[in-house]
Structures are given as C-alpha cells and as structure tokens.
Structure 1
Amino acid sequence: MALLRNRDFLLLSAGQGVSRLGDGLYTAAAAWLAWSLTGDSTAVALVTVAAFGPAFLATFVAASYADRCDRRRLMIVTDLLRASVAAGATVLLALGLLNLTLLVAGTAALSLIGAPFGPARNAMVPQIVRAEDLLQATGLLHVAFRAAFFVGPLLLAPLLAVSSLTLVLALDVLTFLVSAATLAAVRVRRPAGPRHRTGLGADLAAGLKALRAEPDVLVVIATFVVALAATSGFLTVGLAALVGERFGAQGGQYGLLLGIAGVGEVVGALLLARLPIRRLALTAVLAWALLGVFRFPLGLAQSPAIAATLLAMTGMASALTDIPLIALVQQRLPDRHMAKALGLWEAGTAGALAVAPLVASTTVEATGIGTAFMLSGAALVGLSALSAITVLRFARRRTTGRLALACTE
C-alpha cells in the first residue's frame, strides 16, 4: 500500500492517533473527576456540555482561519495552547485547588481552542497525499482516530489502579505535545494559487457560496447532521434501556455492546480503505439506509448476542457515512474553502450530538424500546431515500450542464 510508504502520512496518522487517545482518556477522566468532586450526575452533564457546546458554536467560524492561515502551524499552536490548559488543570488538581467551576471552564477552553483543529487536519490531507489516494487515506486515518479514541477510556481504570487522576491529566498534556512534534515534522505541499487575504465575514460568505455551488455536497452534510440528531441518541440512551430492561444486565455489558459497535466501525473503515468508490455522495447518503436496516430490529433483540451482531453491522455501516463525506469535500471544494466546509459539518455534528439523547429518551418514554428503535431505523431509511433521490437529481443536472457546455464549444 503506497500510503504506508508515505512518511508524512504516517507521521500525521501516528501523531493524531496519540492525540485522539488523549482525547478519549480526558473525556473519561473529566467525567469521573466531575463525579469525584461533587457526587452529582448533573456535574457530569455540565462537563459533557462544556466539551461539545463551544465546538458547536465556534467550529465553522474557527475553520475560516484554517483556510486563511498555514494549517500545519495553526494545528501546532492549537496543540500547544491545549497542552497549556491541560497542564494548568494538572497543577491545580495536584495542589487540591481544582473545583467543578474550574473543571468546566478548562473543558470548555479545550473545546474552544480546538475548534479549528479537526477541519484543518482533514483539509491538510490533500496537501500530503495524492488525489487518487484521498478515500484510502481518510479511511486509514479514521481507523487510527476511532481505535485510539476507544482505547483512551479503557486506560482509565488501570491508570487509576496504579496512580491518580493527576497522572492521567499529565498524560493528556503529553499527547498534545506528541501531536505538535509530529506535525512539526510533516512536510506539506503548498496549495495551488495564492492565499486569499480576506476578512472573516467575507471569507465565511465565500465559503457558503462555494458550498451552494456543490449542492450534492451540501445534501450529504445536511443528511449526516439530521440523521445524527434524530437517531444517534438511541445508541446510548436506547441501548442503555435495552440492556437494563430487556437483558437485566449491568453497566459492563452496556459498555461491551458500545465497544462492539466501535470495533465494527473500525473494521468498516479498514474495509472501506481498500474499496474504490466512484460515487461518494450517493454512497454517503445510502449508507444511512443500510445503518437503518440493522438499527430497525435492535429493539426486538432477545439476547445480548443478537444485539451485539446488529451493533457490529451498524458500526460497519456507520463508517460509510462519514469517510466518503470527508473524501467528497476534499475532492470537490477548492482548497481555500475546504476547512470551512468540514468545519460546518463538524459544528453540525457537535450540535446533533447535543440534542440526540433528548430525542431518543423522549421517543423511548413515549413508545417503548422496541417501537423506538423501529422508528429510528425507519427514519434513517426514509431520510436516506429522500437524500439519494436529491443527490441523483443534482448529478443529472451536472451531467446535462457539462453536455450543454461541450456542445457550445
């Protein structure tokens, strides 16, 4: 595989894998620290909101800087700033001065500072790999990110068994520094053409105009956000209810089933990295229908084994929803607007993840577990069908326009 001989791609994958491991570890540690400080589940919720809220509000705007500045340098600065915030929290915890207010503020600061990082990273990939390798590169990066993020929370228990939360936060600082060091070693091709020096407002307006010029890309992003908001909460809230009421099990089995879904997503990403996909937009929206087919019967599962099988297939299908989306944006949007398009997607994702649990809990309470999962699956299939029809219509218009242009030349 040519990508595995690409020094810069390997550096990016390794560094960001370590960074995502730190993200997963910090997410689990912050939630447990909030509980340890207060013994109140509301405190845990506050920390969770602090982790997602700023990203929802700031990512699209922050992504503008990733389009107007040197992306690699911006990412390095972001890593160093986040390392400083995490180091401050580590010192406060060691001194016994860290309270819930400071924890929430620190978590929100990490989220806000990191807002341009994801869009900048994904927009930088075309600057280090060939255009024909974008889908494969995105798939392999997804494997590294997801696998590392899942490993992070698993490290919390053994680390706490031999040390303390202070060491856990110190390790998070180290992951930011590793990420910055690997980014400093990556060689990046300069984008074709000069960087446009425009103001923030003008740049955001130009980015939205560029997205409107690629309506099928906009449809794929909108489909992802709506699907996530309407149905992703069932993988947490709904699954917890299924495990507790149907299987009579404890949290360990709930965590295991979530882990199986995550492993399925990693496997799906590995398989996708080896497949040539020509129609990225259509693949991305139809993947939601496939996910819905496996989601539909989940609430009727009578055993953990059946639920695990369905969740593994759901996880594999979910890899098809975001990897083609990222590759599509990388291929179709001009470099000067690529990070903003990815930032809009990531901001929508953060907002969707914030409301999805409420949607799921309301549906489960109103209809019961089995019906709720069926409604979730049916909604995904219906949304996917509507989006696929729209994407095909735009593709037909694009083809007709090209033919008309060819005839006039």
Structure 2
Amino acid sequence: MSLLKDRNFLLLFAGQGISRFGDGLYTAATAWLAWSLTKDPTAVAVVSVSAFAPAFVATFVVASYADRGDRRKLMIATDLARVVVVAAASVLLSLDLLNLPVLVATTALLALIGAPFAPARNAIVTQIVPDDRLQQANGLLQVAFRAAFFVGPLMLAPLLAFGSLQSVLVVNGLTFLGSAAAVAAIRVTRPTPTGARTGLWSDLGAGLRAVRAAPDVLVVIVTFVLALALTNGFLTVGLVAVVGQGGQYGLFLGVAGVAEVVGALLLTGLRIRRLALAAVLAWALLGMFRAPLGTVTSPALTVVLLTVTGLASALTDIPLIALVQQRIPSRHLAKTLGLWEAGVAGALAISPFVASTAITLAGVENAFLLSGAAVLLLTVTATLALAYVGARQRGQEPVVTAEGGASVSAPKGTAVTTGTSE
C-alpha cells in the first residue's frame, strides 16, 4: 500500500475513484430515464449500446493524441467537456426536452468525448510509477474503479428519493469536476518526443506495428475481447433468466462486484512473473466456474460460483494492463491501450445479444455450458499461441552488425550480413 503515500499516485487513485463513481451513477440514471420515458426495454438497450458504440469506433484513433500530446492536459480537457454535456442534459431535462432520441445522442456524445480518457489514464501511470510497481499500481486503481462504479448505482435510489433526476446529473457533473481537479494537481514530466513530429495516420500505423512487434500482447488483447463477448452478457441477461427474482438478481450482481474488488485488492500484494499467461489462464478459471451457473438451484452455490468468477475477472485485466505498460514503448502506449478499450467496448455492445441468442436457441442451462466451453477452448488456443510466440522469441538471438553497432535479431544458426563487401 506504500504507493498510496506517493502524492501523484494518490491524486490519480482518488480522482479516478470519484470519476468512476459518477460513471456508475450515470449508467444507472440513463437506463432508468430511458425506461421512464418509454416503458420499453428496447429503449434501455438502445441507450446502453449508445454508450459503447462511439468508444468502439473512436477510442483507438483518439488515443493517438494521448501519445503525441500531454496526457494530463487531455484528461483534464475531457473531464471539463463532459461537465458541459451533462450540464446541457440537465437543462434539457428541466425544460422537459430530454426525449429518447436526445438522450441517445447525449449518451453517445458523452462516450465519444470520453473515448481518449481511459487510454490516457492507463498510459500516464507509467509516468508516475516505476516499472516494478506497475502491477500493484494497476491493482489499486482497479480497486478504486470497481468499488466506486459498484457504489454509483446504489446512490441512484436515495438521490431520487430526496431529489430528482436533475440532482443526479448535477452530482455526475461534480464528479467530473473532482476528477479534473485531481488530475490538474498531478505533477508529471511529459515524455520527451522522439524523432520528427508525425501526423495522425502515420502515428496510428506506427502504433499497429508496435503491437504486431509484441505478439504476446496481441494474443492477450484478442483473447480478452473475444472472451468478454462470450461471457459478459451471461452476467446480466443470463443471470436474470437463471434467478427470476429481482432481489436475488441484485444480490448476486453485488456479490460478483464485491468479489472483483477483493480480487483486485489481493493482486496488489502478488508479483506475477508471467503476466501474459496469467491473463489468459484467468479466463479458463472464469469459464469453468461460470459454466455450471445455468444448472444451479442453490443460492449459496450460486454465490460461491459468482465469487470465484469475480476473483478471476480481476485477474484478466490487471496483468493485461501491466503487460502492455511494460512491453509497449511509451510513444505508442495509449494507442495500444486504446485498441484494447475499443475491443472491450465492442464486446460489451454485442455480448448481451450473444447471451440472449444462445439462451433462445439452446436454453439457459445449455447456453451457460456452451459459453464456458467456448471460453475454455479459447483459453487453450491462446495458451498454445503464447507458447509458440515464446518459442519463436527464444529461437532468436541478438546479433551486432558491423555498421554502428546496431543490434538486430536473427534465428539461431543463420548468418547476418553487414551490407559491406570485402
């Protein structure tokens, strides 16, 4: 916990906890508002998708600005712009002008403005924390993110009981101001630019080449996105079908959320040496314990299964972020994290439809089993891919050329020419 004694990290920890509290509150508020306006579950789904679709489309592209500019200033500007959007939504609501199309447009605009924030935030960690503390730092940040996001929806009922939806939006705007103030107080040195100034598309191309040059990172990111698409919808759509009671459904979601917070907290005290393998195998653990959920009738056993999968969920992303931070050069770090965030947004958008389709075609029990089996198959494939990548990397050794002492790699047993003739 010594990282919390570092002023810069403490500001980031507190500020992003406040921000995620606002995100959780806003997510619950927009879903409730969509239902209040239409009494149509499809409208709630449309609003939810509008919160993810812009991030899927834009996050990787706009993350380039976090790599080529000042990440801290970008985060502050993003927070302040979101304050303006939330304030406008509050005014429209008070004037009774916030109908469903306007709500969808507002939610999409807020997501679009916020697209560069998460990549910039995860990338700025490397400017605050030394490399050997990145896993601990990410674990602590995930504790703040998950706990605060979990608390946010719980505050909707008392805010509505003692205020109104306008007051909910005001509180949400204040959380963005709190986040901006905390980030503004952070003191970090902007990384020194390397080489000539590049344009957007050149920078994006260089970022993709950087990811391809770290194939283990690519394997872990692809595994995460595909596994999330196969599993996340079953925690919402699938669990509703299993439980059938609103009270128990809320309780079980709470258990899974608390387990994720505990898992993130536990990971702050562990040192994982093989980050890529840990991030991949965590999905196998999640798949094994998620698969039987469709057949369980005991609430106690359901709690046990959700607890284990919640702990495993924390293990899927904390090592991934630390791996990216360690393996990708700083000038391409936000873009790589943005690529992951874009994939996550896409997976979250389609996962409920994957779950509902599987349940409709195969039934609840078989759908959960199929989801677990698919994740296990994906994990085996990813593990074999990591083994292949490791073997390829071990099969190369550094070779020093005669010109300028530049180091390159070549397969063992092959010769490297220097480009000169005798």
User: Over alpha carbons, which structure has the higher Rg?
Assistant: 2
Match of 2:419 in 1: none
Contact 1:196–1:336 (CA under 8 A) maintained in structure 2 = no
- Asked if residue 290 in structure 1 is aligned to residue 285 in structure 2, the reply is yes
Find the aligned partners of 2:397 and 2:129 in 1 and give their Cα distance. Answer: 28
Shift of 1:389: 1.2
| Residues 70 and 190, structure 2, Cα contact 8 Å, conserved in 1 | no
In the alignment, which residue of structure 2 is the partner of 1:62?
62
Residues 216-244 of structure 1 show CA distances to partners (whole Å, capped at 9, x for unaligned) of 10000000011111222111111111002
Structure 1 residue 194: Cα displacement = 3.5
Q: Secondary structure at the match of 1:90?
A: helix
Between Structure 1 and Structure 2, how many residues are aligned?
404
Unaligned segments of structure 2, at least 5 residues: 400-408, 417-422
User: Hey, what does 2:404 align to over in structure 1?
Assistant: none
| CA offsets 1:276-335 (integer angstroms, 9 cap, x no match) | 011101111111111111112211211111111100100000111111000000000001
Gaps of 5+ in 1: 245-249
- Tell me: CA distance 1:403–1:55, structure 2 relative to 1, closer, same or farther (3 Å): same
Which residue in the other structure is 2:317 paired with?
Answer: 322
Percent identical: 66
Letter in 1 for 2:338: G
Distance 1:321 1:196, change over 3 A: farther
Instruction: Give the Cα separation in 2 of the matches to 1:189 and 1:390.
Output: 37
Distance 1:148 1:24 in 2: 7
Q: Please give the TM-score of this superposition, normalised by the length of structure 2.
A: 0.93
1:375 aligns with one of 370, 377, 383: 370
Rate the CA distance shift 1:66–1:193 in 2: closer, same or farther, 3 A: closer
Partner of 2:334: 339
Pairwise CA distance, 1:195: 7.2
CA contact (8 A) 1:261 1:312 kept: yes
Q: Is the 8 A contact 2:71 2:121 kept in 1?
A: yes
Q: Do structure 1's residue 352 and structure 2's residue 327 form an aligned pair?
A: no
Q: Give the conservation status (yes or no) of the 8 Å contact 1:54–1:111.
A: yes
The one of 356, 364, 368 aligned to 2:359: 364
More helix by share: 1
After TM superposition, list the pairs within 5 Å mapping 1:204-283 onto structure 2.
Answer: 204-244=204-244, 250-283=245-278
Counterparts of 1:3-402 in structure 2, within 5 Å, are 3-194=3-194, 197-244=197-244, 250-402=245-397
The residue aligned with 1:247 is none
Tell me the SS of whatever aligns to 2:347.
helix
Offset from partner CA, 1:314-373 (integer Å, 9 cap, x none): 000011111100000000000110111111111011111111111111111222222211
How far apart in 2 are the matches of 1:318 and 1:196? Answer: 41
1:107/1:195 Cα in 2 relative to 1: closer, same or farther (>3 Å)? farther
Residues of 2 paired with 1:253 and 1:195: CA distance?
57
CA distance in 1, matches of 2:309, 2:158: 29
